[in-house]
Amino acid sequence: MSKIKNTTSLNKIGEFGLIDHLTKNFSVVHSTTHKGIGDDAAVINFTEGQTLVSTDLLIEGIHFDLSYMPLKHLGYKSVVVNLSDVYAMNAHPTQITMSIAVSNRFTLEALEELYKGVELACKNYKVDLVGGDTSSSTTGLIISVTVMGQAEKGKISYRSGAKPNDLLLVSGDLGGAYMGLQVLEREKDVFKVNPNNQPDLALYSYCVERQLKPEARKDIIELLEEVGIIPNAMIDLSDGLSSEIFHLCKSSGVGCDVYEEKLPADPQTSSTAEEFKINTSTALLNGGEDYELLMAIKTEDYDKIKGHPLLTPIGHFTDKKEVCNMITGLGQSISLEAQGWKNFNKGQSA
């Protein structure tokens, strides 16, 4: 964490004083928020459509490293990764709750930085912070965010709806967050050897930002609404493309063929992978935390988004249950393996 002058110990302000202090600048934008922060529970008026709820847990040393993750960025990211889950259902997030557990090394000013990021994310995505909790921790910083959202009946996209011959589309580009993580980990190792060395990240700005400050694809959901497409199935890319393809295929009882040459990559991602001697396709398939949307759409819907710069067709689904293949640039078919992020792997770290 960065050093902050004139810091305030949390035991001077107390739990309820801390909540009041950190949330005093948050405003309500949704009419569905009847009662937000300030009582024993929030009151939400969901009277139409269907309600969605999702939650994520972020743990220091597992999901983030504060040696290179600014607290404001962490606050922003902790909200965005949860909103992405709701967008992945073809729905719109409306409210969040945020709970934190902190060790005594965190000051009031440090948590202010964290909540500045939370506030910015709420403002950018027009969601209301309606509650949460604070607690002490003996192991660092723990963040839990729960998001609520709404969707019209019949418009929710589940993982289980993909059908043979559906097209597989992905938004944006892939692998940037993974390569950004490689850069940050390398610079962290350099700093350990020489603390006076200041990293120059200018050549990797896109990849580093994809890792530290990702964005949820609200714009894609708005695009789909505009052109009248309801994906048969959809998922967000948090654990890596290959893993998420298997999730869709397993839930839908289908197989998939993915074309290597169709995988979208930013030039900086490709050049950084080359520098690190990492096969670019490996980074695109297995790197996580891109938070792009992966979806199955009907073939007859393709003309509605054909040539659109935000969506790329990368394959199609088959009737071969859970058989996933990658077609290489040479036309060879090789078995696709899910090698993205897996919780509880022995020795897994951030």
Contact 89, 236 (CB under 8 A): no
Q: Is 88 a member of any domain?
A: yes
Q: Which domain holds residue 72?
A: 10-151
Q: Is 344 a member of any domain?
A: no
CATH number at residue 35: 3.30.1330.10
Q: How many domains does the chain have?
A: 2
Q: pLDDT digit of tens for each residue in the chain (350 aa)? A: 445 467 887 777 766 667 677 777 777 777 887 766 666 666 778 878 889 999 999 999 999 999 999 999 999 999 999 999 999 999 999 999 999 999 999 999 999 999 999 999 999 999 999 999 999 999 899 999 999 999 998 999 999 999 999 999 999 999 999 999 999 999 999 988 988 888 889 999 999 999 999 999 999 999 999 999 999 999 999 999 999 999 999 999 999 999 999 999 999 999 999 999 999 999 999 999 999 999 999 999 999 999 999 999 999 999 999 899 999 989 999 999 876 545 445 444 44
- Distance, in Å, from the CA atom of 204 to the CA atom of 27, rounded to the nearest integer, reads 35
pTM for the whole thing? 0.89
Q: Is 188 a member of any domain?
A: yes
Q: Is 17 a member of any domain?
A: yes
Read off the tokens for 36. Answer: 């937000």
Residue 1 has a pLDDT of 44
Q: Is 87 a member of any domain?
A: yes
Kindly state whether residues 247 and 170 are assigned to the same domain: yes
Last residue of a domain, one of 151, 173, 197: 151
Q: Is 341 a member of any domain?
A: no
Compute the Cα dihedral for 123, 127, 133, 137 and give only its sign.
Answer: negative
Last residue of a domain, one of 123, 151, 179: 151
How would you label 208-226 residue by residue, b for 16+ Cβ within 10 Å and e otherwise?
A: bbbbbbbbbbbebbebbee
Kindly state whether residues 178 and 242 are assigned to the same domain: yes
Kindly state whether residues 223 and 184 are assigned to the same domain: yes
CATH number at residue 291: 3.90.650.10
Q: Is 81 a member of any domain?
A: yes
Contact 230, 297 (CB under 8 A): no
- Distance, in Å, from the CA atom of 210 to the CA atom of 213, rounded to the nearest integer, reads 6
Angle (CA) 138-140-144 rounded to 5° is 105
Kindly state whether residues 188 and 292 are assigned to the same domain: yes
Last residue of a domain, one of 116, 134, 151: 151
Q: How far is CA 160 from CA 77, 92, 156, in A?
A: 27, 20, 11
Q: Which residues pair with 316 in a beta bridge?
A: 167, 257
